[in-house]
Chains A and B, each alone.
Chain A
Amino acid sequence: MRNDMFSVLRRSPFLAQQSRKAFLCLGAFLVCLIVAVFALPERAMAYSDEELRNVSERLNVKSSTQKIAVIEEMAADGDPRVAPILRAMLDGNLYVRDSDEHVVITAKQGKVYSHIDIVSGEVIGESGSKEISKIKVNNRLRGVLRDALATLNLFSPDLAVRSNAVEQVMDARDPAMLPLLLRAIDREEDETLLARMELAKATMALAAGENTEERLAAIDVLASETTPQIRAVLSQFVASADAEGFEPEVVAAAKDALKSVEGRLSTWQTVGDVYRGISLGSVLLLAAVGLAITFGVMGVINMAHGEMIMIGAYTTFMVQQALGSILPSGSAWSLAISVPAAFLVAGAVGVVIERSVIRFLYGRPLETLLATWGVSLVLQQAIRTIFGATNQQVMAPDFMSGAVEFSTGLVLTYNRLWIILFSVIVVAGIAAVLRYTAFGLQMRAVTQNRRMAGSVGIRTGYVDALTFGLGSGIAGIAGVALSQISNVSPNLGQTYIIDSFMVVVFGGVGNLWGTVLGAFSLGIVNKFLEPVAGAVLAKIFVLIALILFIQKRPKGLFALKGRAVEA
């Protein structure tokens, strides 16, 4: 009954709309999975059709403990039709039909649930959400289901499924799985997977092994690995050695192995810190590089810089909304189109601000600071009025979700990798514009000597407006990237404004390479401090270090000769 009411809520149109996409993907995946499983050559079935139906119906109880008993019974049976049922339950797609109490797997298409028979795998009807109740799962059940699926999947004909299963068995480290694992090892033909299986066996055999030789062999296998799990296995073994009364030579060997694993892991930890530092640096760089132009080159203390980033992020959101009807949400194209769009929108806003406010205030830094601060508040509240104060959701394209995971515990998330690459491209682009275009030349000329540039016929006012527009446009591009990792809210810009100034001041006002170096070094220092000092203290330390550095070198890492010297 209770499930019913939930489903009613879930069915209401506004929710359905939000979730339709997710469900579609899930549904499609599920159907494929079922088709794949059922296409397999059938092995001897342990359950008769009737038994399978009956045992599945017993899943429809409230108590998790009872559900677990049924799941374990089903998994132990080894019927190939069990896996898709458990998989559907894990994904929250296993329902009970209220009319006849039949357990069915559902695939949701819009508001319609098609019912797939658990025995035949055929679609046997469809309904709205009111006529079916979900078999609920919680985290405990999910864990059990996953382990059960893993043991079932150890014998899957698909290599990828098998190797996934081995990883899960290794994570679970449940000695109860050992017999099944041994059976799987006997059958396995793939060399790499066999090695992983041996490793999984070793993690269990260490404590559960029968004699000293078996344990020592297990330690040998483990010592050659570098993963946090192995460290945990070894340290647990060492910690429990006294209580369990293991042989001294085994314990000594385990301690040695633990030491070498820990040594290698700490190297990887450092690699991880450097990577995360570079990643933070690339975000700082993106945020600051626009400011390096407006503040660094033009000398305008632009407090509205963060809002240009925000405008870029909102442009991304709008492009995605506008293209929503044509492209699937989270399409890479909407992001690709957002980059020039954000550049143009933020750049245009920048030019308007320069022409209407800033050009009257050149040479008066305090007034500029206050005026741009005011502009930033106006922009924030304008966005808040138009879009509302709540966050907007910018979908991540598929190639930006997920991560490359190394067994050593190092995780490189795709969105960060792309942002690092993107920041490099943006900086290279700016460097090229400054170095190789007529506009870049004029800009540098005006920066270095405004009056002389004017006398040789450069329209300095025009160049000022465009330079400010360029800086703002680049901030807009940064907004596209930041929309992938941060909130798209009216406050987005405030988060980055202080960091941006820090980077530009540290790197040396007016120097692009200084900004690059400044961003990355601040990022890396921050990430090395963070695990030691915590995020709050790390930030404070970095600020103090920066203040001290500025005392020593007031002009930052790279001092620039030019207008800054003039002033």
Chain B
Amino acid sequence: MNKKLQALVGAGALAVSAMAMSAAQAAETIKVGVLHSLSGTMAISETTLKDTVLMLVDDLNKNGGLLGKEVEAVVVDPASDWPLFAEKARELIEQEQVDVVFGCWTSVSRKSVLPVFEELNSMLFYPVQYEGEESSRNVFYTGAAPNQQAIPAVDYLMSEDGGSAERIVLLGTDYVYPRTTNKILRSYLNGKGISDEDIMENYTPFGHSDWQSIVADVKAFASAGKKTAVVSTINGDANVPFYKELANQGIKAEDIPVVAFSVGEEELAGIDTAPLVGHLAAWNYFQSVEADANTAFIEKWHAFIGDESRVTNDPMEATYIGFNMWKQAVEQAGTTEVDAVRQAMYGQEVANLTGGTAVMNTNHHLSKPVLIGEVQDDGQFDIVWETDGTVVGDAWSDFLPESAKLTADWTYPWVCGNCEKPMY
């Protein structure tokens, strides 16, 4: 009995001391949650972003941490499973007590975690280009909105330099991002005088691997005599067989250029790009951008990952901007408390990697430059077009009648994500 009691007390003491220790640690560190899939379909893209956050955290700690404290990254794996994203987000916020979360790639995963972040009033930095039509007080969107990627890209296709396209094929994976983007694009194209019969829209499942018929259809559609271009919102794994089929069926960029919104340096790593030279991608960053900040970033990335052949891409830049903005906002606010940091975020400026400055606007979207690059035979992009300055991200597209009247502005007097009138 006595022994048992002793053991119990001992265990209790141990537990108490352990708790004390963890409490002490919590006081000394600032926790950053990383919510990216490390397994499943999206691991291919998201693993890189996890490494990027780890690199940035590592870098921050080497330079003395944040507010005099060490920063600790808490990595979880939502395994490309959308409901699991919500669970893991809750785990990060409630159990791990993280101060901020960097995460998500697909829109469906973001939609899944959104209620959690709003309920627990936490902060998410979302680093991927997306379809817009959303604004949450708890999310900062550091990727491109449609007006920062899709609209300039079709403008380019229709311009003289882009080949004066008059027929557009919209190819996409069947989920919310491509469908919404294509809805915006169709209405934009109609406004530009391209009628519905000159627009072909086609959706394929995730991981679609047999592109023979669709590529043949595109070829047939293009043979009608008008200059045709393809806008691709094909996501993830399906891109490799798609581009292989394009190459094998001999579709040349000068005949039918394909501009992609989800294909970057990382996605091209698995393809022989020699037959794809001239196909396009629209992003806010390319590894080939000439800027001192970019050179330094690439060197740092190679040193961190220990592999010179690894590429950098646009969502990595978005993560980089988001992380540095959050860091600055925390320093300015003097605390990691969510509401204070959020107030400090507005108007925060960070040097982006393309030699300009990213500004956080009150609609939680960034001002970014838009670049269009051509695929080169070394898997990199050659920039053929860019906007003069930066473009302010637009949460609610002006080209959809139902969203054109909505405003997202989280500062006084609006304080609202989707309002027609200010709240105050």
Contacts and interface: CB of A to CB of B under 8 A. Distances in A.
Nearest to B225: A232
Q: Which A-B residue pairs are the 8 nearest by beta carbons?
A: A391-B270, A5-B290, A19-B378, A228-B223, A142-B254, A389-B43, A413-B248, A14-B308
Interface string B30-69: 0000000011110110011000000000000000000000
B39 A142 contact: no
A402 B277 CA distance: 15
Contacts of B252: 142
Contact of A535 (B214, B241, B287, B378): B214
Nearest to B212: A276
Interface of A: 2, 5-6, 8-10, 12-19, 22-23, 25-26, 64-65, 92, 136, 138-140, 142-143, 146, 171, 173, 228-229, 231-233, 235-236, 272-273, 276, 279-280, 283, 380-381, 384, 388-393, 395-396, 401-403, 405, 409, 411, 413-416, 485-491, 494-495, 527, 530-531, 534-536, 539
A490 B47 CA distance: 13
Given A139-B162, A403-B249, A539-B205, A489 B384 contact: no
A232 B223 contact: yes
Contact of A273 (B161, B207, B213, B255): B213
Of A143, A272, A392, which is in contact with the most chain B CB atoms at under 10 Å from its CB? A143
A388 B380 CA distance: 21
B278 interface: yes
Contact of B44 (A12, A280, A489): A489
Contacts of A402: 248, 250
Name the interface size band of chain B: 35 or more
B377 A140 contact: no
B72 interface: no
Interface string B226-257: 00000000000100110011011110111101
A391 B240 contact: yes
B24 interface: no
Contact of A142 (B43, B237, B253, B287): B253
B208 A22 contact: no
Given A487-B237, A535-B214, A13 B160 contact: no
B172 to A, nearest CB: 11
Nearest to B210: A280
B270 A390 contact: yes
Given A232-B223, A389-B44, A393-B271, A136 B382 contact: yes
Contacts of A413: 212, 245, 248-249
Contacts of B225: 173, 232-233, 235-236
A6 B290 contact: yes
Contacts of A390: 44, 47-48, 266, 269-270
A9 B380 contact: yes
A391 B44 contact: yes
A15 B205 contact: no
Given A65-B160, A235-B224, A491-B40, A535 B205 contact: yes
Given A146-B254, A391-B237, A486-B209, 12 more contacts: A15-B379, A18-B309, A18-B378, A64-B160, A171-B255, A232-B223, A276-B213, A279-B212, A390-B270, A485-B241, A491-B237, A535-B208
A535 B219 CA distance: 17
10 contacts: A15-B380, A138-B374, A143-B255, A146-B254, A173-B225, A236-B224, A393-B269, A411-B219, A486-B241, A491-B44
A495 B271 contact: no
Nearest to B41: A491
B204 interface: yes
Interface of B: 38-41, 43-44, 47-48, 160-164, 174, 202-205, 207-210, 212-214, 216-217, 219-220, 223-225, 237, 240-241, 244-245, 247-250, 252-255, 257, 266-267, 269-272, 274-275, 277-278, 280, 287-288, 290, 308-309, 374, 376-380, 382, 384
Given A15-B380, A489-B44, A536-B204, A531 B213 contact: yes
A392 B217 CA distance: 29
A198 to B, nearest CB: 20
Contacts of A381: 39
A406 to B, nearest CB: 12
A105 B100 CA distance: 53
Contact of B223 (A8, A409, A494, A495): A409
A136 B384 contact: yes
Contacts of A495: 207, 209, 237
A136 B220 CA distance: 30
A535 B202 contact: yes
Contact of B213 (A16, A146, A530): A530
Contact of B379 (A18, A409, A489): A18
Contacts of B269: 390-391, 393
Given A5-B290, A392-B270, A19 B379 contact: yes
A272 B214 CA distance: 12
B277 A92 contact: yes
Nearest to A394: B270
A411 B250 contact: yes
A487 B237 CA distance: 7
- Which secondary structure dominates chain A's binding surface? helix
Of A273, A411, A487, which is in contact with the most chain B CB atoms at under 10 Å from its CB? A487
A535 B309 contact: no
Contacts of A139: 162-163, 253-254, 257, 278, 280, 374
A414 B384 contact: no
Given A402-B248, A535-B202, A393 B270 contact: yes
Contact of B290 (A9, A13, A23, A393): A9
B168 to A, nearest CB: 15
B308 A384 contact: no
A416 B255 CA distance: 23
A384 B44 CA distance: 9
Contacts of B39: 380-381, 384, 389, 490
Nearest to A16: B378
Contacts of B164: 140
A6 B287 CA distance: 10
Contacts of B207: 491, 494-495
B272 A405 contact: no
Contacts of A232: 223-225
Given A393-B271, A402-B250, A409-B223, A140 B380 contact: no
B375 to A, nearest CB: 11
Given A15-B380, A491-B207, A409 B290 contact: no
Contact of B378 (A10, A171, A233, A416): A10
Nearest to B219: A409
A234 B126 CA distance: 51
A561 to B, nearest CB: 35
B160 A140 contact: yes
Contacts of A409: 216, 219-220, 223
A22 B276 CA distance: 12
A485 B308 CA distance: 27
A6 B382 CA distance: 8
A16 B304 CA distance: 21
A236 B257 CA distance: 22
Contacts of B210: 276, 279-280, 283
Of A23, A392, A489, which is in contact with the most chain B CB atoms at under 10 Å from its CB? A489
Nearest to B291: A5
B288 to A, nearest CB: 5
Contacts of B266: 390
Contacts of A535: 202-205, 208, 213-214
A272 B309 CA distance: 41
B248 A272 contact: no
A519 to B, nearest CB: 13
B9 to A, nearest CB: 42
A170 to B, nearest CB: 12
Contacts of A5: 290
Contacts of A19: 377-379
Contacts of A273: 213
Of A8, A22, A388, A405, which is in contact with the most chain B CB atoms at under 10 Å from its CB? A22
